Chains A and B, each alone.
Chain A
Amino acid sequence: DSGVTQTPKHLITATGQRVTLRCSPRSGDLSVYWYQQSLDQGLQFLIQYYNGEERAKGNILERFSAQQFPDLHSELNLSSLELGDSALYFCASSGGQGAGETQYFGPGTRLLVL
C-alpha cells in the first residue's frame, strides 16, 4: 500500500458525460501528479500540483482540468468524454519536486467510456 488513495476504482460512463476522479496523497506529501495510461499512448503525464498551485502541465486535453484543495487532496475533472478517454488514471504524490523525489502511485481509477 503506497498510502495514496484514489476513488472510484472503476467508472463506466457514456460519451459526452463528465466525471470527477479523486486523489488523496500520502500523509505529508505536497505534490500531486496525474497520469493517464492507455494501451496506445502508454503512461502520460497530465498535470502536477504543489501545495495547491499548478506547477506543470503535460499532455492534458482542454476538456480535462484539475485542482488541489487546501487539505491537499486533488480532483481530476474529465468532461465531454470520448471513447478514446477510456484509460487507467493514476494519481501520484511526492514530498517535494526534486529529481530524487520518488513518486508513489495510487491504485488508479479505471475509466471506461461507452
Chain B
Amino acid sequence: AQKITQTQPGMFVQEKEAVTLDCTYDTSDPSYGLFWYKQPSSGEMIFLIYQGSYDQQNATEGRYSLNFQKARKSANLVISASQLGDSAMYFCAMREEYSSASKIIFGSGTRLSIRP
C-alpha cells in the first residue's frame, strides 16, 4: 500500500546550518514520483523539488536537494545554509504511476524552526 512516513514532528536548527528532513515511503509501483512541499504559517503549499523513481541522479533546486536512496525507500530533503524564512512545515509526498487515483499521498509533515 502507498505510504509516506515522516518521523520528525519538529526540528530546531541554527541559521546557516544545513538540515536534513527524513522521509521514507512504501509502494509496490515501479514508477512513482516523490515531492517535497513547504507550508509556511500563511498556509499555502509551495512545491520545492521532485524526484522520479527512475532518475539516476539526486534532484537539486537551489538550496534544496533530495537524497534519494531507492533501495532503502528514502527521499530525504536537504536544505543547505538554512535561512529564517525556511521556518515552515515540510511535507514529503508520493504519487504512483499506475495507481487508480493519480493523487498525491502526503506524510504527516515536519515542522522546521530556524533559530537566529
A-to-B contact residues, CB < 8 Å: 2, 31, 33, 42-43, 45, 48, 55-58, 88, 90, 92, 97-108, 110
Across the interface, name the chain A residue whose C-beta is closest to B27.
A99
Quote the shortest CB–CB distance from A34 to chain B (angstroms). Answer: 10
Asked if residues A2 and B43 are in contact (CB atoms below 8 Å), the reply is no
Q: Residues 98-116 of chain B: 1 if any A CB is under 8 Å from the residue's CB, otherwise 0? A: 0011111110110000000
Task: Tell me which of B10-18, B30-38, B64-72, B73-81 binds A.
Answer: B30-38
Contact of B45 among A90, A97, A100 (CB under 8 A): A90
Chain A residue contacts of B95, Cβ below 8 A: 99, 101, 103
How many residue pairs link A and B with beta carbons under 8 A? The number is 71
Asked if residues A55 and B106 are in contact (CB atoms below 8 Å), the reply is no
Asked if residues B33 and A100 are in contact (CB atoms below 8 Å), the reply is yes
Asked if residues A107 and B101 are in contact (CB atoms below 8 Å), the reply is no
Asked if residues A102 and B109 are in contact (CB atoms below 8 Å), the reply is no
Chain A residue contacts of B60, Cβ below 8 A: none
**CA distance in complex: A45, B106 (Å):** 9
- Of the A-B pairs whose beta carbons lie under 8 Å apart in the complex, a sample of 23, sorted by A's number, is A31-B102, A33-B103, A33-B104, A42-B109, A45-B103, A56-B101, A56-B102, A58-B101, A58-B103, A92-B45, A98-B97, A98-B102, A99-B31, A99-B32, A99-B33, A99-B53, A99-B96, A102-B47, A105-B37, A107-B44, A108-B43, A108-B44, A108-B45
